[in-house]
Amino acid sequence: MSPEERCIYIDRLTPEGGLYTDAQRPVHPEANSSWQVGPDPWRLPDRVLRHIEEAGHHFLAFYRAANLLYNQSWRGIQPGWVAGYLDSGKPESVVALGRMNRIKQHVPLVIRPDMIPTKEGMIATELDSLPGGIGFTASLGARYGSLDEPITGGPDGMIDGFERMLRSFADTAAPVVAVVVSEESASWRPEMVWVADRLNERGLETVVMGPDDIIFREDGLYAPSGTGPRRIDLIYRFFELFDLKNIPKMELILYAAKKNAVKITPPLKNVMEEKMLMALFQHPALQNFWSQQLGSGTVAFLERTFPKTWVMDPTPLPPHATIHGLEVKGRPFQDWRELGSLRQKDRQMVIKPSGFSEMAWGGRGVAIGHDMSETDWQETIDHALQSFDANPHILQIFHNGATFPVEHYDFASSSMNRFRGRVRLQPYYFVVGDDPVLSGIQATVCPPDKKLLHGMVDAVVLPCGPMPPSS
């Protein structure tokens, strides 16, 4: 097939209605896809693939150490301000959930970082433990795999990894899995239905349902089915902890979890979803803890990979103190508001909510300093500081992604188009036992003028695969 024919073939395989229902539109009336379609997977050199595969082990170790840090903090073994930061703005009921003894050791079993290739190396701007895109990335892999293209993890790697993770965590011979999708996350329901269909074909009984569809009985939770209610062994939650009060039957779900009548993943721990964990990793007072728990190799890897990050705590500093590590052209800072007077080109910074907010996911609430007016930047700083008690924010150094050439099919001209864009790589690791299995990678290539890299109608979205040996 020609590149044009390959793109049209891939587009025609897009499931009717798409795999998500958020505000998306096709790129052209003749296109099924709401993104730009390229002819080939995004090809990565072996050294990059090895780096990304290795990263999964470091990220899992980081989650486990962060979980221990929090547990030791609220117990008084580590500094109490750590738990104070992480619990800030959370209701007591949510804090208590995360401290349940039966899930004390539980960490996320799905890890998806946002990784940006830069001239300085690979930067992970975020770690997401409740990501969308599992079905979408799986579908991309299957489509491009049908062209006999090698896909990272294999053409069915995403489904393989997700299934293995669920079976491993359920720890029963024939588990019944309920993917519970809240109204807040409803735009991702179609892709999870697609995933569930694939899992059912493999013999893993899986149902996608809203929380109000759950049937409660004293011995556990049940899912409706054509043959009568089926006892649920494992819930894969597709709902946010900040939204618990709006979720029907949540008290019954939590009652069953507390009685160990059902397993739930990702764990009901707000701590594991906080972006400020990167700032805590970099805090000088905690260096000994991280070194002891992670070892020098993982510490060095994360120091190279995480952008410099700070918790925007408005507590005044004494006159002789400065914000540790925060400098612009050699200038230190004593107050976050001093950043508001920086020239636009010196504001290579990002402010965003740490977590536990509808503004903390999907790129919402992200403010890029050099992409806004001075007045808006100052207002963003003020808002972040004023929100600290209810919704802490973080400051990160912005890293400009390197540009790469990409081509896609232009439905308007019926020809191939080419541009240089910035790339966001999203690897999906599914934890099976102690092993974070790299099961697929999604590449989103955005036009170079876009500072915030995310899925958009102008972006080329591709699965990743290895670069051919001859390249």
Digit-by-digit pLDDT tens for the chain (471 residues) are: 999 999 999 999 987 666 655 545 666 788 888 899 999 999 999 999 999 999 999 999 999 999 999 999 999 999 999 999 999 999 999 999 999 999 999 999 999 999 999 999 999 999 999 999 999 999 999 999 999 999 999 999 999 999 999 999 998 999 999 999 998 888 889 999 999 999 999 999 999 999 999 999 999 999 998 888 999 999 999 988 888 888 899 999 999 999 999 999 999 999 999 999 999 999 999 999 999 999 999 999 999 999 999 999 999 999 999 999 999 999 999 999 999 999 999 999 999 999 886 654 656 789 999 999 999 999 999 999 999 999 999 999 999 999 999 999 999 999 999 999 999 999 999 999 999 999 999 999 999 877 666 656 889 999 999 998 765
Is 290 a member of any domain? yes
| Shared domain check, 121 and 35 | yes
Tell me which residue range forms the domain holding 389: 308-397
Amino acid, single-letter form, for residue 185 = S
Is 141 a member of any domain? no
290: how many CB neighbours lie within 10 A of its CB? Answer: 21
The residues near 41 (Cβ < 8 Å, ≥ 6 apart) are 144, 149, 150, 151, 462, 463, 464, 465
Q: Give the span between the Cα atoms of 337 and 381, in whole angstroms.
A: 7
| Shared domain check, 288 and 315 | no
> What DSSP assignment string belongs to 166-227?
HHHHH-SSS-EEEEEE-STTGGGHHHHHHHHHHHHHTT-EEEEE-GGGPEEETTEEEE--TT
On whether the CB atoms of residues 459 and 452 are closer than 8 A, the answer is no
| Shared domain check, 123 and 90 | yes
pTM above 0.85, yes or no: yes
Is 32 a member of any domain? yes
Is 266 a member of any domain? no
Q: Quick one: DSSP state of residue 468?
A: P
| Shared domain check, 344 and 324 | yes
| Shared domain check, 358 and 420 | no
**Domain end (from 397, 415, 443):** 397
The residues near 118 (Cβ < 8 Å, ≥ 6 apart) are 399, 400, 401, 402
| Shared domain check, 302 and 318 | no
Is 205 a member of any domain? no
Is 193 a member of any domain? no
**Domain end (from 367, 397, 427):** 397
Q: How many domains does the chain have?
A: 2
| Shared domain check, 458 and 389 | no
| Shared domain check, 447 and 461 | yes
| Shared domain check, 377 and 410 | no
Is 234 a member of any domain? no
Q: Give the span between the Cα atoms of 140 and 463, in whole angstroms.
A: 6
**Domain end (from 380, 397, 414):** 397
| Shared domain check, 315 and 442 | no
Q: How far is CA 255 from CA 101, 177, 207, 269, 361, in A?
A: 14, 18, 21, 16, 27
Among the listed residues 425, 418, 470, 419, the one whose alpha carbon sits nearest the alpha carbon of residue 449: 419
Is 138 a member of any domain? no
The residues near 330 (Cβ < 8 Å, ≥ 6 apart) are none
| Shared domain check, 3 and 103 | yes
Q: Give the span between the Cα atoms of 422 and 460, in whole angstroms.
A: 10
On whether the CB atoms of residues 59 and 431 are closer than 8 A, the answer is no
Q: Quick one: DSSP state of residue 315?
A: P
| Shared domain check, 393 and 315 | yes
